[in-house]
A = this chain, B = another copy of it.
Amino acid sequence: MQQLIASLFLTAFDNPLLGQREDQARMPLAPLTQQGDRLAFTTDSYVIDPIFFPGGDIGKLAVCGTVNDLAVSGAQPLYLSCGFIIEEGFSGEDLVRIVTSMAHTAQQAGVQIVTGDTKVVPRGAADKLFINTAGIGVIPTEINWGASQIRAGDKIIVTGTLGDHGATILNLREKLGLEAELSSDCAALTPMIAPLRAIDGVRALRDATRGGVTAILHEYAQASGCGMVIDEAALPLKSAVRGICEILGLEALNFANEGKLVLAVAPQAEQAVLDALHAHPLGKEAVTIGEATASTQVRLRGIFGTSRLLDLPHNEPMPRIC
């Protein structure tokens, strides 16, 4: 079983580094130092349920999520590791489908899966399949993006409709039966981010996954000492997502996304950033939704001009969203 899986991975993820067949991948440092002066290194475990969903699957998610966590630092993502925890009896057909999806996504994102591990656990010790990926990228010398760079007056931009991933999974899990328009936005964002490196005044990027835009706004506020004020009327929402929120009394700003950035940019960079984002298919609905302020509060300004505190949700709205 272990050997079958190893051979499946070696075939699907085929690249010279993986083919070394040692206990570790070995990559020359010299080409990295030509691309930048810092390594970026990140990891996430993916435990999403269901493992297949409109717009993606756990394998695509495991590549995109880690690639995006690298790319938001300005890094060029280069190498991924992957660790599979598989429940005994898991469908071989589904495993092939997921591994093929990972390989395809990695190729599109320009990263190589260079090392991996598989553990099969007895039935009942894990639910179907969990995937961990860790990623390495290189940050170009001139780039210094980070939440601590944000200043009062900076514009807050999102790159498209919010909450699509969270609403899609919620619809499946709670069997709400809404079919139309609901699809995860799961995507690797590197190609959309790359042109931003040439623009002066980009302060910080994060992808709004678990915890949604709300979590990112709070992280930005905490790291920068600034407040954030967001215009409710400016939030781009698909009508199906808006519908789910109204029916269930939920806040789309708290929903997970898997292909949307929240950017903070200097006011003089706003138009150049929007133009660059609009030039990419994944960013064509990018829009400014608010700004950083001198206060320390995170606030949502309603349609009639009154504003309220935008708190972090006390409970995770849904486990196994990613």
Chain A residues with a Cβ under 8 A of chain B: 1-2, 20-30, 32-33, 36-45, 47, 49, 69-70, 72-73, 75, 79, 81-85, 88, 114-117, 119-122, 124-127, 130, 132, 134-139, 146-147, 206-207, 219, 223, 316, 319-320
Report the separation of the CA atoms of residues A186 and B8 in the bound assembly, to the nearest whole angstrom.
Answer: 30
Q: Which of B1, B32, B146, B223 contacts A39 (CB 8 A)?
A: B32
A-B contact pairs, 9 of them (CB 8 A): A24-B70, A24-B75, A26-B40, A29-B32, A41-B136, A47-B121, A49-B125, A124-B124, A132-B134
Tell me whether B134 and A81 are in contact (CB under 8 A).
yes
Tell me whether A125 and B320 are in contact (CB under 8 A).
yes
Q: Which of B25, B41, B132 contacts A45 (CB 8 A)?
A: B132
Tell me whether B83 and A115 are in contact (CB under 8 A).
no
Residues of B within 8 A of A81 (CB): 41-43, 134
Tell me whether A130 and B126 are in contact (CB under 8 A).
yes
Which of A1, A47, A124, A320 neighbours the largest number of chain B CB atoms within 10 Å of its CB? Answer: A47
Tell me whether B41 and A36 are in contact (CB under 8 A).
no
